[in-house]
Amino acid sequence: AQSVTQLDSQVPVFEEAPVELRCNYSSSVSVYLFWYVQYPNQGLQLLLKYLSGSTLVKGINGFEAEFNKSQTSFHLRKPSVHISDTAEYFCAVRGNRDDKIIFGKGTRLHILP
């Protein structure tokens, strides 16, 4: 079974400052890793995914994440945030033989002017 931990429920950050949203996972099998974003009153949109290959993954809207197998982490980063990045961000994992995606509890990114 897999699990995902997002330690920060909320992250406030000033506009144009860098941000890192932390995600750790546990699994007994190889996994695929995802970050989804949920804007207010909207559904889930895929930001980026790690399936295999390069551990640094670039996604939409200037976000990137790095898969670290030894630390079982998949932290999300952006060098300079914008007010439009205000949203809930979900880290998620799927076992390589599973259908279901397991989501973390989410981190609310709050951009300060």
Partner 1 sequence: EPEVTQTPSHQVTQMGQEVILRCVPISNHLYFYWYRQILGQKVEFLVSFYNNEISEKSEIFDDQFSVERPDGSNFTLKIRSTKLEDSAMYFCASSVNSYNEQFFGPGTRLTVL
Beta strand pairing status for 102-103 and 73-78? unpaired
Continuous segment of H or E residues that includes residue 38: strand 31-38
Is residue 105 involved in binding partner 1 (CB under 8 A)?
A: yes
List binders of partner 1 among 42-101 (CB under 8 A). Answer: 42-46, 49, 51, 90, 92, 98-101
Residues with Cβ within 8 Å of 26's Cβ and at least 6 positions away in sequence, in order, are 2, 3, 5, 72
Q: Indicate whether 17 belongs to the interface with partner 1 (CB under 8 A).
A: no
Smallest separation (angstroms) from partner 1 to the CB of 25: 14
Which residues form the interface with partner 1 (CB under 8 A)? 32, 34, 36, 42-46, 49, 51, 90, 92, 98-106
